[in-house]
């Protein structure tokens, strides 16, 4: 009899986590799902294809210490409730670290965000990396969502064999040409529709980009799809421009075709003052390629190298108004349409999540 895989999810409505749980369940593996919810991406929790054992509400405004204490008491209870014949699957460094400290050793660990990379203090950063490496080595299996994580976490050290690389590609919902439903037309250079899709944050880059469009390019548009991480990010200036639009929360993956139908350039200029941004491989890369939409990203990042590899768009310093202005002024129809044409020739199969290695590895563990 197969053991159950008990998921503890740091943010239950996160599309990547939903995708992973769905894939594992669809391959005949019993799942039990516990998830924390802070109110973000709430639409994604409607009509889930799997049952949820418990949704644990938490206040996203809680202090770091209060959040960790809440996680600790809740995770301790979940571990006790499921200690018989279960394999645990932890999404995120905080969940995995707390569970390990509480004594859990039969776990799978998925890391999509290297917490240590955000730390400015070299001493503290190296301390967190040592913990991360230890948790990875003691895991039954570890999943990385970016190749950049391997080099950053292990550098010249030996890389454990139980690591699986699973970039955050498209949901298998799109594993059919009928579900693409996006027909790209030639971009009107006199009215470019820029778009940001996801959790609205990074005021120094993403919101700066929108403000530059609003202030300097009234002929163009900027469209936001998603909730704001903090209300203060959507300030009076950004809402004052008539060519900036806020469409609110959306449901991933079903709403993506309509969203990409309404934008010409996907803006994925995350703030590189966060070290994690420099090494991440976000799903927006694969979405943009799939929907044949040029992408602009922050320069000097792992993502920028991927964009260059696929000829998928451009990279700029989006923390600087003048850099954004010059980028927009330099855009032309030929360049953008050449990118879209190049993306149309990419084999869509390589852009969609392929979980065979993960499923085979989990089956070996739970049997």
Report residues of the chain scoring pLDDT below 50. Answer: none
Residue 296: the pLDDT is: 98
Q: Nearest 5°: phi and psi at 351?
A: -100, -5
DSSP bridge partners of 42: none
Residue 349: the pLDDT is: 87
Give the burial class of 210: count Cβ atoms within 10 A of its Cβ; 0-12 exposed, 13-18 middle, 19 or more buried.
Answer: buried
Q: What is this structure's pTM?
A: 0.89
Instruction: Give me the DSSP letters along 105-159.
Output: -SEEEEESS-GGGG---HHHHHHHHHHHHHHHHHSSEEEES-HHHHHHHHTTSPP
By C-alpha distance, which of 361, 364, 358 is closest to 21? 358
Residue 44: the pLDDT is: 77
Q: Nearest 5°: phi and psi at 356?
A: -55, -45
Q: Report yes or no: 146 and 279 within 8 Å, Cβ to Cβ.
A: yes
Residue 181: the pLDDT is: 56
Residue 45: the pLDDT is: 82
Residue 101: the pLDDT is: 97
Residue 141: the pLDDT is: 97
């Amino acid at each position: 009899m197969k053991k159950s895989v008990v998921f503890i999810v740091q943010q239950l409505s996160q599309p990547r986590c939903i995708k992973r749980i769905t894939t594992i369940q669809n391959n005949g593996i019993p799942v039990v799902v516990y998830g924390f919810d802070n109110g973000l991406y709430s639409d994604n929790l409607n009509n889930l294809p799997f049952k949820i054992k418990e949704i644990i509400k938490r206040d996203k405004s809680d202090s770091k210490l209060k959040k960790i204490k809440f996680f600790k008491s809740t995770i301790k209870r979940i571990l006790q409730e499921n200690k018989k014949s279960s394999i645990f699957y932890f999404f995120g460094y905080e969940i995995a670290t707390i569970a390990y400290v509480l004594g859990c050793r039969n776990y799978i660990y998925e890391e999509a965000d290297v917490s240590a990379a955000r730390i400015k203090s070299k001493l503290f950063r190296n301390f967190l990396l040592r913990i991360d490496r230890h948790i990875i080595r003691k895991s039954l299996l570890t999943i990385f969502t970016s190749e950049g994580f391997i080099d950053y976490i292990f550098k010249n050290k030996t890389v454990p064999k139980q690591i699986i690389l699973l970039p955050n590609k498209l949901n298998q919902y799109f594993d059919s040409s009928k579900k693409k439903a996006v027909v790209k037309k030639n971009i009107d250079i006199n009215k470019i529709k820029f778009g940001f899709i996801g959790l609205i944050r990074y005021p120094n880059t993403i919101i700066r980009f929108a403000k530059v469009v609003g202030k300097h390019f009234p002929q163009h548009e900027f469209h936001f799809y998603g909730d704001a991480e903090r209300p203060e990010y959507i300030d009076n200036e950004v809402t004052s421009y008539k060519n900036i639009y806020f469409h609110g929360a959306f449901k991933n993956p079903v709403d993506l075709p309509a969203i990409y139908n309404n934008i010409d350039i996907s803006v994925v200029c995350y703030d590189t003052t966060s070290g994690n941004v420099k090494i991440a491989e976000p799903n927006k890369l694969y979405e943009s390629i799939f929907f044949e939409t040029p992408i602009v990203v922050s320069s000097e990042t792992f993502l920028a190298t991927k964009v260059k590899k696929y000829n998928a768009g451009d990279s700029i310093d989006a923390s600087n108004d003048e850099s954004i202005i010059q980028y927009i002024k330099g855009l032309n129809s030929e360049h953008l349409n050449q990118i879209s044409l190049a993306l149309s020739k990419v084999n869509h199969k390589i852009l969609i999540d392929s979980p065979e290695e993960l499923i085979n590895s989990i089956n070996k563990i739970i049997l």
